[in-house]
Amino acid sequence: MKNKSLVSINDYSKEEQLSILDLAREFEKNPVQDILKDNVIASLFFEPSTRTRLSFESAVNRLGGKIVGFSEASNTSVKKGESLRDTILTVANYSDLIVMRNPVEGSARFASEISPVPIINAGDGANQHPTQTLLDLYSIRKTQGTLDNLHVAMVGDLKYGRTIHSLVIALCNYNTTFHLVSPVELKLPSSVKMHIKEKKLAYHQYTEVEDVIPHADVLYMTRIQRERFSDPLEYERIKNSYNLEYEMIKKTKDNFRVLHPLPRVNEINIDVDKSPKAYYFEQALNGVFVRQALISSILGLK
Ligand code: CP
């Protein structure tokens, strides 16, 4: 994976993805090391973020590296009209690797094609979020003991949720049975469903979360993505479609876990947090180890 950009989850083979997960397990045992002391990582966030940006920063800091960048473009020369091309070509002079989140679908691919240093896509619009997928796979393997033959229920905004798109594609490598729960307006796009069909995997579509809870090993909740709606009234109409409560998951299988890429809005009641089956904050922690593994692999340090 040395010098290999990660834009879409399929840019890395199943074996490469698993090698990142294995390395992340080593970083989880020993997260403070000095291996990045000669490296500068650029973190360019054109869209808001808490977990992705800060877990990348935490990952770099714990490995002794330096990080430069911005958390919003409004106080950079983008404000003066600088193109993404010029921003990337400039920042590549200052860094060994660029992590970028941008609201435009395809922007990370474009950046990877012109950049002399590798690009990690930290989310491009409603398209993909491959580093989230690596930490989701890590979290699923850690809680289930395997990635194979699981029943994974995905709930919420399957249309605009980039974490969903990348995760569905990755899970197609593991004989997953998909339970897809969304309002009818927010079904999984056919371009993503195509990956399930190509692998001839089972998938079922629902509108009610109660219908999938008894079947699921993993319940992957997501928020309705307000920022992707062109019609605010449409968002208002469906924003409260789901609200998972503690009582709803009390009788689930022992291995059942609730995951969520976060942030949550109101699709998981905070009373779920007290359940030992709520895993979303540990999931966010796993992002540090997975991103340590990814950065050190791309830089050829591990
Ligand atoms: N999961 C995720 O991408 O969260 P942030 O938007 O806070 O980075």
**Domain locations in the chain?**
9-128+287-298, 130-284
| SS3 of residue 85 by DSSP | helix
pLDDT value, residue 78 = 93
- Asked whether the beta carbons of 60 and 66 are under 8 A apart, the reply is yes
DSSP-derived secondary structure letter, 176: P
Q: State whether the beta carbon of 263 lies less than 6 angstroms from ligand 1.
A: yes
Q: Which whole-number Å values give the CA distances from 285 to 27, 75, 281, 290, in the listed order?
A: 12, 29, 6, 9
Percentage of residues of the chain with pLDDT beyond 70: 100
Residue 163 CA to ligand 1 centre (angstroms): 9
Question: What is the atom index within ligand 1 of the atom nearest the CA of 123?
Answer: 3
Residue 40's DSSP bridge partners are: 66
Per-residue model confidence (pLDDT) at position 276: 97
d(C-alpha 198, C-alpha 201), whole Å: 8
Closest-CA residue, ligand 1 atom 3, reads 52
Ligand 1 contact, 118 CB (< 6 A): no
The neighbour count for residue 221, using CB atoms within 10 Å, is: 22
What 8-state DSSP symbol labels residue 189?
P
pLDDT at 156: 97
**Cα–Cα distance for residue pair 265/40, rounded to 1 Å:** 34
Ligand 1 centroid from CA 167, angstroms = 14
- In the residue annotation, 204 being an active-site residue is answered as no
Shared fold status for 9-128+287-298 and 130-284:
yes
If pLDDT is split at 50, 70 and 90, which confidence band does 193 have?
Answer: very high
pLDDT at 221: 98
199: confidence class by pLDDT, cuts 50, 70, 90? very high
132: Cβ below 6 Å to ligand 1? yes
Global pTM? 0.96
- 286, with CB counted inside 10 A (0-12, 13-18, 19+), is buried
Q: Does domain 130-284 have CATH number 3.40.50.1370?
A: yes
Ligand 1 mean position to 52 CA, how many Å? 5
Check: CB of residue 107 under 8 Å from CB of residue 118. no
CATH superfamily placement of domain 9-128+287-298: Aspartate/ornithine carbamoyltransferase (3.40.50.1370)
Q: Which amino acid is at 14?
A: K
Classified as helix, coil or strand, 294 is helix
- What pLDDT is stored for residue 302 in this prediction? 92
Q: Pull the structure tokens for residue 137.
A: 């796979």
CA gap 224, 117 in Å, rounded: 34
The model's confidence at residue 242, banded by pLDDT at 50, 70 and 90, is very high
